[in-house]
Chains A and B, each alone.
Chain A
Amino acid sequence: MQTVDILIGVFAVIALGGSVVGVVLYEPSAASEFGVFYSTETHELGSEDTSVSGGGPNGGTSSAEVTHDIGISNLTELVFEVQVTSQSALPARSAALSITVTVTDPNGTETREDGSISGTGTSTTIEVRVPNLNEVPVDGAIQAESLEAAATQANETNVGTNGIGEWTVTVEVTYPAGLAAESGTVTSTPRATHYHSEVRAEVPDISPAA
C-alpha cells in the first residue's frame, strides 16, 4: 500500500469522525441574529393658537398659554416654533414689544427664549429648542425567531419615555407705555425629532475574493 493510500485512509477516518462529532455537538439556533439600526426623523405636529391682549396707556404685561399633548415616544428633541402677531405698528406704536416664550415640559422643567416685535413690525417667530430628551441607542443585534419578532422586540426595548405628556407654551408680552390696548395672536407649532429602529437579518460578510 502506498503512502498516499494510507493518508487517504487516515483522512477519511478523520473526516468521518469529525463529521459525526460535529453533527452531535452541533446546536441549531432556533433564533437568528438580527441587526438593529437606529435613525432619527423629524415630524411637524399640529399647531395650537390663542389670542393675547393687553397694553394701554401704562403699558404692562399680558400672557397667553397653549398646551400640546405629545404622545410620541423616543423623542430626542422638540422644537416649538411660536409665532406672535401684534395688531399695532407704526405710527400707533413706536417702541418694540418684548416677548418671552416659556416652554414647560411634563415634569415642570422650563426652557425660555426671548424675542421682540420691533416698532415697525407686526409679528415675530421665536424657536424654543428642547434637546437631549432621550439618547439614541447604539446600533446592536438581537436574537429572535423571525424578522417580525425581531422588529417587535426592538420596538419594545430601548423605549425613550422622556417628553411624553402635556407641554405648555406660555407667551408673555410686555407692552410699552402709551400704547392703546390691543390684541394679538399666538401660534405654537412643535416639531418632534424621534428615533426609530430598523431591523435587518444579519448575514456573514463574505470576502469579495469569493
Chain B
Amino acid sequence: MVSGGALGQPENDRGAWNSRLGFILAAVGSAVGLGNIWRFPFTTAEGGGAVFLVIYLVILVIVGLPVMLGELALGRRGKLNPVGTFRRLANGHPFWVGVGVLFVLTSLFIISWYSVIGGWVLRYIWGSANGSYFADPAGYFNEIQDGPIALGLHAFVIGITALVLAIGVSKGIERVAFIMMPILFVLVVGIAIWVATLDGAGEGYSFYLSPDFSEFDTDILRSATGQAFFSLSLGQGAILTYASYLDDRESLSDNGTIISLADTGVAVLAGFMIFPALAVAGLLTTEAGPGALFIGLATAFAELGTVGRILGSLFFTALFFAAFTSAISLLEPSISFVRDQFKVPRVKAAILMGIIAYIGGIFAALSRTYFGIAAGDGTDIVVILGGLLISLFAGWFLMDAPEEMNRGGRLRLGHYAMWMCRIPIPVVLFTLLVLALVDYVNAIRAGEVFLGL
C-alpha cells in the first residue's frame, strides 16, 4: 500500500506536499499558463467585457470546478500516477488502465511542444532587454519560431524542468512554486500598476471590461465554456498527479475552489496589464491568440521605447514563470508513472522522461507544420477527451467521490460535482470534442494539415 504522506512530515517514498499552501501554489502554477495571459483577457474584451466575466464565472462553477474536483478526488484516492490510479480504482480494468496511459502520454505530448514556447519566451525576455525585436516584431517572431536555437532553448527548458522534478515534490516543485508564483503575482500586479500611470492607459480599462450585452450569443457561451475548462489544466493528468501527493485531511472542495478562483484572478489581472499597455501604444485590439502575445504586445513594447524595454522584459519574465510552473506539472505525471510502476529513483525517472520529452520536442522545434498541429487541434482533442473520461469516471465509478471531495473543509461541493460529472459535463465536453474534431477535419480538407501528422 502506498501512502500519500502527511502535512509537516518528511517525504515518504513517493513524496508529499509539505504544506497546503505549497500544494495550492503548485496547482495554481499548473493552471496558470500562457492561456491565462494571451487568451483570457482578449476573449473577455471581445466577449462583452464584464458581461463575459460574469458568464465565465458561472460556467467555471458549472463545468470547470466539478471536473477539477473529480480529477483531484481521483488523484488523492489513487495516490499514484495516472496509470496506477486508474488501475487501482478500476480494479485493473484494461480500458481504464488505458485511460491512465492516455493521461501520461497526453502530458508528455503537451510538454514536448510547450517547452518550445518556453524557449520563445526566453528569447523575448532577451529581445525586450536589448530591443532586438523593436524594428520588426513580426519578422522577429518568424525568425525565432524554429531552428537550432529554438531546439537548444527547448532542451534548456526541458532540462531545468527535469532538474526541479528530480529534486522532488516538496523540495523541487513546491519550492519553485513558493518562489515563482508570488513573484509572478507581484510582477503582474506591479506591471498593472505601472502601466496605469502612463498617459492613455484609461482607454484600455474601458476597452477591457465595459459591459456590452450586445455581444451575448451562443459563440460567447462556447468560448466561455472552452476557456473555463482549458484554463484549469484539466484532462492532462497534471492535477491528478499533484493530488496524489495531497494529504487525506485536506479539503478538495476548498482547495479546488481556491485554485479555480486564483487561476481566474491571475487571468483577469493579466488584462489589467495588457490592455492599458496596448492603449498607451495606440494598438488596442481584441484579436486573441499567440499573435497578440508575440507580435501585438511586442509591437506595443517597441512603440514605448525605453519604457517598453523594461516593461517587455518584466512581462515576458512573468510569462516565463507562468509557463515554467505549468511545464513542471506536465512532466511530473510521466515521472510519477515511471517511479511508481518501475520503482525507479526519481532522479533517473526525471532524466529518462526529460530525454523522451526532448525527443518529442525536436519535431516541434524544427517543423512549423508539426508544431501547428500538435499545439493546436491535436492538444484540444486529447485534453477534452481526457476531461470527458475523468468526468465519466468520477461521476459513475468513484462512488464515494462526494465524501472524498467534502472531507475536512467548509465548502461541501461533492454531491453537486459528482452529479454534474455524470451527465451535464460529459454532454458539454462531448460537444466540445466533436467541434474540435470538426475543426481538425476541416483543416485537413483545407490542406492545412496532413493526415497523421
Cβ-defined partner of B35 (8 Å) among A2, A12, A208: A208
A46 located at the interface, meaning its Cβ lies under 8 Å from any Cβ of chain B in the complex: no
| A208 & B227 in contact (Cβ 8 Å cutoff) | yes
A41 located at the interface, meaning its Cβ lies under 8 Å from any Cβ of chain B in the complex: no
B355 and chain A: residue at smallest CB distance: A11
Residues in B with CB closer than 8 Å to A5 are 348
CA distance A137 to B103 in the complex (A): 44
Stretch touching chain B among A20-28, A63-71, A78-86, A179-187: A20-28
| A209 & B352 in contact (Cβ 8 Å cutoff) | no
B362 located at the interface, meaning its Cβ lies under 8 Å from any Cβ of chain A in the complex: yes
| A204 & B230 in contact (Cβ 8 Å cutoff) | no
Cβ-defined partner of B359 (8 Å) among A14, A26, A205: A14
Cβ-defined partner of B289 (8 Å) among A8, A22, A34, A205: A205
| B226 & A208 in contact (Cβ 8 Å cutoff) | yes
A18-B362, A210-B34 in contact; A11/B352 too (CB < 8 A)? Answer: yes
| A23 & B366 in contact (Cβ 8 Å cutoff) | yes
A111 located at the interface, meaning its Cβ lies under 8 Å from any Cβ of chain B in the complex: no
A23-B148, A210-B33, A210-B379 in contact; A147/B291 too (CB < 8 A)? Answer: no
B368 located at the interface, meaning its Cβ lies under 8 Å from any Cβ of chain A in the complex: yes
Stretch touching chain A among B92-100, B273-281, B370-378: B370-378
Residues in B with CB closer than 8 Å to A29 are 142, 368
Cβ-defined partner of B375 (8 Å) among A12, A22, A200, A210: A210
Interface size range of chain A in the complex: 20 to 34
Residues in A with CB closer than 8 Å to B34 are 206, 210
B263 located at the interface, meaning its Cβ lies under 8 Å from any Cβ of chain A in the complex: no
B40 and chain A: residue at smallest CB distance: A208
B interface: dominant SS: helix
B260 smallest CB distance to A (angstroms):
15
Interface residue ranges of B354-408 to A (CB < 8 Å): 355-356, 358-359, 362-363, 365-366, 368, 371-372, 375-380, 383
Q: Which of B33, B235, B366, B378 has the most CB of A within 10 A?
A: B366
A8-B348, A210-B35 in contact; A204/B375 too (CB < 8 A)? Answer: yes
| B233 & A205 in contact (Cβ 8 Å cutoff) | no
| B291 & A200 in contact (Cβ 8 Å cutoff) | yes
B114 located at the interface, meaning its Cβ lies under 8 Å from any Cβ of chain A in the complex: yes
B373 and chain A: residue at smallest CB distance: A204
Residues in B with CB closer than 8 Å to A207 are 35, 230, 375-380, 383
A4-B348, A8-B355, A11-B355 in contact; A209/B148 too (CB < 8 A)? Answer: no
B326 and chain A: residue at smallest CB distance: A210
B351 located at the interface, meaning its Cβ lies under 8 Å from any Cβ of chain A in the complex: yes
Stretch touching chain A among B47-55, B71-79, B133-141, B166-174: B133-141
Residues in A with CB closer than 8 Å to B155 are 19
| A4 & B289 in contact (Cβ 8 Å cutoff) | no
A96 smallest CB distance to B (angstroms):
45
A206-B34, A210-B375 in contact; A201/B351 too (CB < 8 A)? Answer: no
Residue pairs across A and B with Cβ atoms less than 8 A apart, 13 shown, are: A4-B338, A4-B344, A8-B351, A15-B358, A19-B155, A22-B366, A23-B151, A201-B291, A203-B289, A203-B290, A203-B295, A210-B110, A210-B375
A interface, CB within 8 angstroms of B = 2-5, 7-8, 11-12, 14-15, 18-19, 22-23, 25-26, 28-29, 32, 34, 145-147, 200-201, 203-210
